[in-house]
Amino acid sequence: MRKAAFLDRDGVINVDTGYVSRIEDVEWTAGALDAIERLKALDYLVFVVTNQSGIARGYYSEEQFRRFTAAMFASSQVDAVLFCPHYPEITGRCECRKPEPGMLLHAANIFSIDPAQSFFVGDQPTDLEAGSRALVTTWQFQGGRLDQFIEDRLSTFRSTA
Ligand SMILES: [Mg+2]
Ligand SMILES: [Zn+2]
């Protein structure tokens, strides 16, 4: 069983300026790339977990989102970007849009992840709900350096997990 770090995108990895979908609009949060590098060095699988209702709303296509995402994370070691392209009022209910835990459960199943050794960093209550429903530890990020935030929490997490 592997351990995994699940990271929300907007508000955690990049500044949330709304429907970020062009490479020129990506503003990394302080320490985000260092955090990913550190987690990989600690042998975590690293997943980005993001609601992308901009696809359902027609702001950008899934193909555009995939190309943008590949470019955004090209120089990082992120293992996968999990995204929900739905929006309930347009595409109906789904099991992946946070606070549903579907994206995390799917990854956990495919990659044989142990939830007890895994965590989810999000900035919204819906992230924390998705994480706890997937039985991983959840931490709410409210700004500052992401690498420092994770390092601080890992120091106690590792001794108890
Ligand atoms: Mg967010
Ligand atoms: Zn969905």
Read off the CATH number of the domain in which 55 is found. Answer: 3.40.50.1000
What is the sign of the dihedral through the CA atoms of 121, 125, 127 and 129? positive
Which pLDDT score is estimated for 57? 98
Sole residue written with tokens 């070691």: 77
Domain interval for residue 152: 4-160
Arithmetic mean of pLDDT, 8-33: 97
Q: Which of 82, 98, 73, 5 is nearest to 49 (CA)?
A: 82
Give the model's pLDDT for residue 159.
63
- Tell me: pLDDT of 17 over 80: yes
Of 10, 123, 127, 147, the catalytic one is 10
Predicted pLDDT of residue 161: 54
User: Above pLDDT 90, what percent of the chain?
Assistant: 97
Ligand 2 centre from 50 Cα, in Å?
10
Are 127 and 154 in contact by the 8 Å Cβ rule? The answer is no
For residue 97, which ligand has an atom nearest its CA? Answer: 2
| CA distances, 51 to each of 21, 23, 42, 107, 154 (Å) | 12, 18, 27, 15, 25
Judged against a pLDDT cut of 90, whether residue 59 lies above it is answered with yes
Among all chains, which residue has been given the structure tokens 């990989």? 40
Q: Is the pLDDT of residue 31 over 80?
A: yes
Q: Give the pLDDT mean for 36-51.
A: 98
The domain tally of the chain equals: 1
Amino acid at 38: R
**Known catalytic residue at 25:** no
Mean pLDDT of 143-161: 89
What is the distance between the alpha carbons of residues 159 and 161, in angstroms, rounded to a whole number? 6
Q: How far is the CA of 117 from the centre of ligand 1 (A)?
A: 22
- Ligand 2 centroid vs 85 CA: distance in angstroms? 6
What value does the mean pLDDT take over residues 121-127?
98
What's the predicted TM-score (pTM) here? 0.96
- CA 19 → CA 50, 52, 57, 106, 121, distances in Å? 11, 8, 11, 24, 19
Across the chain, what does the average pLDDT equal?
97
* Residue 21 reports pLDDT greater than 90: yes
